[in-house]
Every structure is written in C-alpha cells, then in structure tokens.
C-alpha cells in the first residue's frame, strides 16, 4: 500500500485553515468545568476550617464572656453586636459566635461525609446485588430497603439518640453511622433499578458468555456504567446528612456539650428569639454555612456529570466555539448549526470536457 | 400516452436529465465534526435530486453518506457543524407530481434548509422530507402501539382530521406497505424486523412527503425481505411520485433500484451517473474498483477484485486527490492538486467524475473509457402506466 501523506493539503483550494490545536502539555488534571472549580474551592474552604477551625478559634466555644460589642442604637451599654473583639457578635449570654461556628464545622463535615460514604457503600452493595442477582435475594433486599424508606428518619434518629444518651450521641462518628443507617435505602433503590436495566444488556450477556465471573461482571462491566449515579448518590446523601445532623443539633438530640455544631447555634438563636430581636449575626452565619456547603457539593455533582457524560462536555461550549470559529454555538438538538468558514460558490476548479460550466 | 391532465407522459417520468424539475439542491456542502482538529466528514458536495427520482448514495463506512443526508435535514448532532454550502428544498404543491410545472399554479416554494429559521426547516420535516432509519427497532417507541404511532403523526400534522379519519388512514397506510390492518393494535416488539421496517415506511409516508431519505433501511434484513420491501417501495413511488435518497453501501442493490447513483469517498462525491452507466462504464478509478468487487446478477462471469488499502483518516485526508494512495492510475499531480469535478456527457446522459484522468488532457485508461449506451439511460424498474396514474388517489 502506498504511503499516505500526513501533512494536510498543500496549496489546494480546499485547504482548511488549520484550527489552533488544543494545548495538551502537562495539564491533564486541569478542571475544565467552572461549576466543578467553584464547588471544589468552596468545599476546600470548609474542609480547611474543619481541620484548623478549633485551633484558630479566638475563644472556647463554650466560654461565656461579658458583652463587649459596640452599644446598640440609642444606648450606651456594651451589647452583643459584632465588633472588634467578637467578629460575629455574641450570644445573649456572652458566647462568641465565630468560635462556635469554627468549632462546629469539624463535626458537621465528619458526620456528613462519613454518613455519605457509608450510606453510598451500603446502597451500592445492596442495590446492585438485588438488581443483578434477582430472585429471592432481590425480594429480601428490596423488602429491607422499602422498610427503611418507610420509617421516618428523624423520629427514629431522635429515639436512637435518646437511647444512646448525650455522651455517645455527641460523638460525630456514632451520629454519622446512625444517619448512614437511615439514609441508604433511597440510593439502593436507584442502584437496583440501574443494575436491573444493565443486567440484560448485550455487553453484559457477552461478558457472561465469555466466562467472566459474576464478581468481575459486576465490578468491571456494570459498576463503571453507574459511576455518575454513584457519585451523585454520594453527594446528595452527604447533603442529606448535613441537613439531618444540623436538624438533630437543632432538636438538641446532639447536645451542645463540648461539640458545638451549626444546628446547636441555630437552636440557641431560635430559643433566644434572635430572629424577632433582629440579631442577624446569630442565625445568618450557620444558615449560610449550611447553604454554601450544600451548594458546593451540588456544583461538584454537576461537574462530575459533565465529566462522565460526553454529551455534556464542554468541547462545543459557546465560549470555545467563539474562540475557534468566531461564532458562539449553542448545541441545539435537531438543528445542526451552520458556520460558513469561506465564501460560498468557490473553489473547486472545474474543467469541462463535454461542456463548460 | 398522456397523463391525467393531457400532458405528455415524458414530463411525469423520472429521468436523470437536466430538464427534470429539481426537488433538493445541494451546493458545495461541507460538514465537520468538532472544532479542534475537526473531522472533515463531507467536503464540497454538489448533488441535485429531481422530482420522482431515486438517487442512490453509495460509499464505504465513514465516507460521509449518512452525514450528508443528516446535514441536509439538520439532524446532525453536536459536534457536527455545517461549514460551507447551500441546500435548497423545492416545496412543490401537494399532489402536483403528475402535472407539469407551469407558471400559474404548479410552482415550487424554495426553502433554504440551512437558514437560521427553525420554523421553516421544521415545516418541511416529515411533511415534505421523511427519514427512514436503519434500525426500525430503535426508531419505534416500544411502549406505543403501531396505531398510536401513526395516529400521533397524523394528529400533529393534519389537525383537520377527525379521530375516525385518522384511524382509517392509519389502516390504509399499513395496508399500503403490506401489513394487515389488525396489526394496528400490536406493539413494535410483536412485529418481525421486516414488518417493523414496513411500519417505518408507512410512518414516513403518512404525510405524503415528496422526499424520502432512507438511511440503509434494509441493512438489518435478509435479502428476501429486502427484495420485498424494495419492490413495494418502488411501487409506492410510482404511485405517489416521491423522490428517494437511498443511502447504502450495497452498490449492487442501488443498480437495481436507483435512477442516479452518487458515489462518495472520504467525504467527497467522486462520481455521479445514471445507475446503469455507472455500473457498465465507470469513469472514476474508485467506482471502477467498486464495480469489480461484487458479482453481477445478470452479466457474464468475471474475475472479482477489490480495492487495495483502506479508506483514509478523515482528520488527515491525503493531499490532492484523497484516493491517490490507492489508485492504480495515480499520476504525480494527483498527489498534490485536488482533482476537478469534470462534467461529462454521453449517450447515457449527464454525468460527472472527480478525477484528473477525465479532464481531457490525459489519456483515459480503457477501463475508465467504456462506452455507455442508450440503454443505460434510464434505470427506472417499470414504466408508469396510464392506469396506475389515474388510479392515484392523491
């Protein structure tokens, strides 16, 4: 066979201007998705605070001090307003809210990620087993999952918390495991449904015929297809765990012992009528922290979706096409874009034999 | 012999010559996939389909034939981009196929298929240009009955029809493609592959389109069913006068059914000719290689030969003529200069080939200079009879 010239056409009229080739040097782990980047940065800040928060906290979170803020409007006495000594103000009995926030981040992060990881692992194992094996195994596992779905999680957690007593219920690891125990069933249902639809696909059938073991089929053939669902299951279970942990703190099931958490701060604020008194520095920070942590996880989930699903990848992003083609293209299903790079009616030279053109 | 309005039958017949009325005109169309290091899937293709004509689009996998068809209907998915060219659809008045064009009422509206006007494109889709996909199993919604599928198409496009009218029309459509009407209550999985493909054709014909794009419609079927479906299709074409753009890699099939065959290689149209002429007297070396690679059903026995090498990577198409690395008659200029599209004219009619050998300044190898005869002119399988025309219910 003759060799094929690799360089593109030389001088021919059809020559297409060489598009700038993407830079591929050593930036393999560059985060392409902006959502992913913002999510990761936010989460990074929270993890950092979880690690060093208790160390950099200016006061002990449980310490009570005289009110030291600037005087309230129209008064002269020192108040609990945010000031130089207490950046986020004080509680009405003199606790430093910034210290409570910083100290409360660690248990929140530990509980939510532990619960997310354990619940997802349970969901993957139980769900895929049920879906792939089927039969009586599926019946039993589905029954268990359904029971857990029906049990209202919060009352159960309150009961368990009361049973364990304040000491053990205050331990983030214990709480994380308990929340995982109540939060896996939803993910398991999703995994089971996916595994069911995978089970009879041709490639799984082919793997079975080629003699692969069940373990390998599940791990190498089915699991990679569930990556996006497992990732989103993990992230959303984590968000659920944050909500639940904060809720337990708010309901004083997890008491404000030495471990302050955001829910406890909210409970203190509410029981002291902070909202009615306009003490925004007391209830806004924990609320905002919960919202931001949840947002960061959701953003990471969107990023993972884009990474895993090639159709969502950014190769054809409006910004990118504007740079290369000069036109911002927005992919529209069922309406192929037209970008005329060169003038119409041009170039192929036509030499007519029978007749001229 | 006269048509329904006393017009000469010649005007109503499909033929490859230039006097016929255009239906779809593609000029200089180019399609690329992706924006960084794009794949040049279709490059500078000119193709005109006339009313009532069956145009076959042949080529090996990856030669751009499906891409061309989907680009024209604007159905190419991201990251496909149309980068050059024009495509016009001539929207002739419904039911005017058996009348000749005149200045008064049989005049087409010209639709620019590549315009930014979504509605204009959407209006000709399905009602004028219908597509039959390769895999009927995947194109039919598995949870809807056949009757419901047909009913949906009619309900959304022909709002004037009543429920009863739609039902009887659906039954009629099924009978048209040779399926009994009681199958309306069946689900797609209850039908065989051939029946599913027939249902697809019935769906495509539901709105009496003037152009039917068939993307390898019979590839998944065995030859007997394939034959039956194609015969039926050709009968329906005689009756309703739609044009067909038939995409396949099976050149021998095209020679049987097509009026004109266009051969694609590496995204370019390399030869276009009346079907029989293309087979009997190819003008392009690639077509010559293709015609020698399968046995003829009706001719004398010959030694078969393939084409050396394999098709090029569409990101790095060879310079000059993209076929030159595999061409037995390659000349030095073939490697450097892009060949011209040479218009030729012989007894079989108009034809064209993208080759330096045919430009008049080179000695044409005798394999590529076989004489085409008058009998190669039209390849329409049957001649429309007056009875069939008057039996037309349009």
Q: Indicate the residue of A2, A4, A344 with minimum beta-carbon distance to B84.
A: A344
Residue for token pair 């947002």: A295
pLDDT, greater one: B282 or A34: B282
**pLDDT computed for residue A188 by the predictor:** 93
Radius of gyration, alpha carbons of chain A:
29
State which residues of chain A have pLDDT below 50: 1-29, 343-357
Q: How confident is the model at residue B250 (pLDDT cuts 50, 70, 90)?
A: confident
Put simply, the answer to whether A21 touches B116 (Cβ < 8 Å) is no
pLDDT(B146) > 70: yes
Angle at A289 between CA A38 and CA A247, to 5 degrees: 130
Of A5, A352, A353, Cβ closest to residue B318: A5
Q: How many CB atoms lie within 10 A of CB A193?
A: 14
Cis peptide before B79 (omega within 30 of 0): yes
CA distance B154 to B207: 7
Sign of CA dihedral B361, B366, B371, B377: negative
Q: Which CATH superfamily is domain A34-65+87-308 in?
A: MetI-like (1.10.3720.10)
Instruction: Note the pLDDT of residue B388.
Output: 39
Whole-number Å distance between alpha carbons of A23 and A320: 13
Asked whether the beta carbons of residue B316 and residue A3 sit closer than 8 angstroms, the reply is no
Question: Parallel, antiparallel, or unpaired: how do β-strands B341-346 and B129-132 relate?
Answer: unpaired
Report how far residue B269's alpha carbon sits from residue A59's, in angstroms, rounded to the nearest whole number. Answer: 79
Contact residues, chain A, for B114 at CB < 8 Å? 338
Q: State in Å, rounded, how far the first CA of chain A is from the last one.
A: 36
pTM: 0.69
Query: pLDDT tens across B3-35, in order?
Result: 343 333 333 333 333 347 889 999 999 998 887
Check residue A343 and give its pLDDT: 47
User: Rounded CA gap, A232 and A187, in Å?
Assistant: 10
Give the mean model confidence (pLDDT) for residues B209-228: 85
Chain A partners within 8 Å of B326 (Cβ)? 1-2
Residue B82 has pLDDT above 50, yes or no: yes
At A355 the pLDDT is: 35
Q: What is the pLDDT of residues A132-151, one digit of tens each?
A: 888 899 999 999 999 998 88
Is residue B244 predicted with pLDDT exceeding 70?
yes
Residues 6+ apart with CB under 8 A from B119: none
Residue of B nearest to A14 (CA): B338
Query: Is the Cβ pair A2, B359 closer than 8 Å?
Result: no
Instruction: Provide the pLDDT confidence category of residue B145 given band limits of 50, 70 and 90.
Output: very high
Report chain B's mean pLDDT, rounded to a whole number: 81
Mutation site for B-interface testing, chosen from A332, A333, A351, A357 by largest number of B Cβ within 10 Å: A351
Domain(s) of CATH 1.10.3720.10: residues in chain A = 34-65+87-308
How does strand B22-33 pair with strand B341-346? unpaired
Q: Which of A1, A343, A349, A354 to mutate to test the interface with B (most CBs of B within 10 A)?
A: A354
Pairwise CA distance, residues B39 & B41, whole Å: 6
Residues from chain A that touch B331, judged by Cβ atoms under 8 A, are: none
Cα B286 to Cα A30: distance, rounded to the nearest angstrom? 45
Position with higher pLDDT, B222 vs B353? B353
| The pLDDT of residue A342 | 54
Q: Does the pLDDT at position B394 exceed 50?
A: no
Contacts of B309 in chain A (CB under 8 A): 1-2
Which range (A252-256, A332-336, B36-40, B180-184) has the least confidence? A252-256
Q: Does B358 lie at the interface with A, CB-CB under 8 angstroms?
A: yes
Q: What is the DSSP string of A124-146?
A: HHHHHHHHHH-HHHHHHHHHHHH
Residue B99 has a pLDDT of: 66
- pLDDT the model gives residue A19: 45
Report the sign of the C-alpha dihedral through residues A272, A276, A277, A279, in that order.
Answer: positive
Q: Are A146 and A231 within 8 A, CB to CB? A: no
Asked if pLDDT for residue B117 goes beyond 90, the answer is no
User: What pLDDT sits at residue B297?
Assistant: 62
Chain B residues whose CB is inside 8 A of the A16 CB are: 38, 40
Residue-level pLDDT at A81: 75
Mean per-residue pLDDT for B36-57?
89
């Amino acid at each position: 066979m003759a060799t094929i010239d690799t360089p593109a056409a030389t001088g021919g009229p059809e020559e297409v201007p060489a598009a700038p080739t993407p830079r591929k040097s050593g930036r393999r782990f560059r985060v392409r998705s902006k959502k992913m980047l913002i999510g990761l940065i936010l989460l990074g800040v929270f993890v950092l605070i979880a690690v060093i928060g208790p160390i950099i906290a200016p006061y002990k979170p449980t310490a009570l001090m005289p009110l030291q803020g600037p005087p309230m409007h129209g008064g002269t006495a020192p108040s609990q307003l945010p000031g130089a000594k207490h950046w986020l103000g004080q509680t009405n009995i003199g606790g430093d809210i910034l210290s409570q926030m910083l100290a409360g981040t660690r248990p929140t992060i530990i509980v939510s990620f532990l619960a997310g990881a354990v619940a997802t692992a349970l969901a993957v194992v139980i769900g895929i087993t049920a879906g792939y094996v089927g039969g009586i195994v599926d019946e039993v596992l589905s029954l268990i999952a359904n029971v857990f779905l029906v049990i209202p999680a919060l009352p159960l957690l309150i009961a368990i918390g009361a049973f364990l007593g304040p000491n053990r219920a205050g331990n983030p690891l214990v709480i994380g495991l308990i929340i995982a125990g109540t939060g896996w069933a939803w993910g398991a249902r999703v995994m089971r449904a996916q595994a069911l639809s995978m089970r009879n696909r041709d490639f799984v059938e082919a793997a079975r015929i080629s003699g692969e073991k069940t373990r390998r089929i599940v791990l190498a053939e089915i699991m990679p297809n569930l990556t996006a669902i497992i990732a989103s299951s993990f992230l959303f279970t984590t968000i659920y765990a944050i909500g639940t942990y904060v809720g337990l703190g708010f309901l004083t099931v997890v008491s404000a012992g030495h471990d302050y958490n955001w829910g406890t701060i909210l409970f203190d604020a509410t029981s002291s009528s902070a909202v009615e008194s306009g003490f925004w520095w007391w209830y806004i920070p924990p609320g905002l922290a919960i919202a931001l942590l949840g947002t960061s996880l959701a953003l990471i989930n969107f990023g993972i979706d884009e990474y895993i699903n090639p159709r969502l990848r950014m190769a054809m992003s409006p910004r990118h096409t504007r740079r290369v083609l000069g036109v911002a293209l927005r992919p529209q299903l069922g309406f192929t874009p037209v970008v005329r790079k060169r003038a119409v009616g041009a170039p192929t030279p036509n030499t007519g034999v029978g007749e001229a053109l | 012999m006269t048509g329904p309005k006393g017009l000469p039958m010649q005007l109503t017949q499909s033929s490859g010559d230039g006097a016929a009325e255009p239906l779809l005109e593609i000029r200089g169309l180019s399609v690329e996939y992706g924006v960084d290091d794009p794949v040049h899937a279709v490059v500078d293709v000119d193709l005109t389909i006339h009313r009532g004509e069956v145009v076959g689009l042949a080529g090996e996998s990856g030669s751009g034939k499906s891409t061309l068809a989907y680009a024209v209907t604007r159905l190419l998915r991201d990251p496909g981009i149309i980068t050059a060219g024009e495509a016009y659809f001539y929207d002739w008045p419904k039911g005017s196929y058996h009348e000749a064009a005149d200045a008064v009422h049989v005049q087409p509206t010209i639709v620019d298929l590549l315009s930014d006007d979504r509605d204009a494109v959407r209006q000709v889709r399905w009602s004028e240009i219908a597509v039959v996909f390769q895999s009927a199993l995947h194109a039919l919604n598995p949870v809807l009955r056949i009757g419901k599928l047909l009913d949906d198409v009619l309900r959304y496009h022909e709002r004037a029809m009543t429920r009863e009218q739609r039902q009887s029309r659906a039954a009629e459509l099924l009978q048209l493609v040779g399926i009994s009407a009681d199958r309306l209550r069946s689900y797609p999985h209850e039908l065989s592959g051939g029946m599913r493909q027939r249902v697809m054709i019935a769906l495509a014909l539901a709105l009496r389109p003037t152009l039917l794009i068939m993307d390898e419609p019979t590839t998944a079927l065995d030859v007997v069913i394939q034959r039956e479906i194609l015969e039926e299709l050709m009968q329906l074409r005689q009756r309703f006068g739609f044009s067909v753009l038939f995409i396949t890699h099976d050149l021998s099939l095209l020679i049987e059914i097509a009026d004109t065959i266009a051969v694609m290689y590496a995204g370019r149209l390399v030869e276009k000719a009346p079907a029989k002429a293309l087979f009997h007297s190819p003008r392009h070396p690639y077509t010559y290689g293709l015609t020698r690679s399968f046995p003829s059903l009706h001719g004398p026995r010959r030694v078969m030969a393939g084409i050396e090498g394999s098709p090029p990577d569409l990101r790095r198409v060879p310079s000059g003529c993209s076929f030159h690395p595999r061409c037995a008659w390659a000349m030095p200029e073939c490697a450097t200069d892009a060949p011209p599209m040479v218009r030729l004219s012989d007894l079989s009619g108009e034809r064209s080939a993208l080759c330096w050998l045919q430009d008049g300044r080179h000695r044409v190898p005798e394999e590529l200079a076989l004489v085409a005869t008058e009998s190669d002119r039209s390849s329409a399988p049957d001649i429309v009879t007056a009875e069939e025309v008057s039996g037309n219910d349009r």
